[in-house]
């Protein structure tokens, strides 16, 4: 199953997250079930620096476990994690092929 994960950062954690940024990127790179991840924001950079991940996992609980171990989350810098089942139409299957 695929899931979209929307994360919100805890206000006032910018400097602490900068210190963990390399560990955060290493964590993403070490987990091939993370198909894509990045920051998302409106026109002006939102101080929460919300992030969006697309994850392949057996169930919602597996995504929750993955996210709880992510360095920003493990350090308490995430205000919220929202997990949604993601079912794109077949025309987008090519985006998720891993051959």
Quote the pTM value: 0.86
What lies within 8 Å, CB to CB, of 92 at 6+ separation is none
pLDDT in tens, 19-53: 999 999 999 999 999 999 998 876 665 555 689 99
Q: What number is the average pLDDT over the span 6-31? A: 93
- Residue predicted with more confidence, 13 or 30: 30
Helices (H) then strands (E): counts for the chain: 3, 4
Is domain 2-85 classified as CATH 1.10.443.10? Answer: no
| Token pair 């991940």 in the structure block, residue | 53
């Amino acid at each position: 199953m695929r899931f979209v994960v929307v994360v919100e950062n805890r206000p006032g954690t910018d400097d602490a997250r900068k210190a963990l940024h390399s560990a955060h990127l290493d964590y993403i790179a070490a987990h091939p079930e993370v198909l894509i991840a990045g920051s998302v924001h409106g026109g002006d950079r939102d101080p929460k620096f919300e992030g969006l991940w697309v994850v392949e996992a057996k169930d919602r609980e597996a995504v929750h476990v993955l996210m709880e171990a992510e360095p920003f989350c493990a350090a308490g810098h995430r205000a919220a994690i929202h997990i949604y089942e993601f079912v794109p139409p077949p025309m987008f299957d090519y985006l998720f092929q891993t051959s």
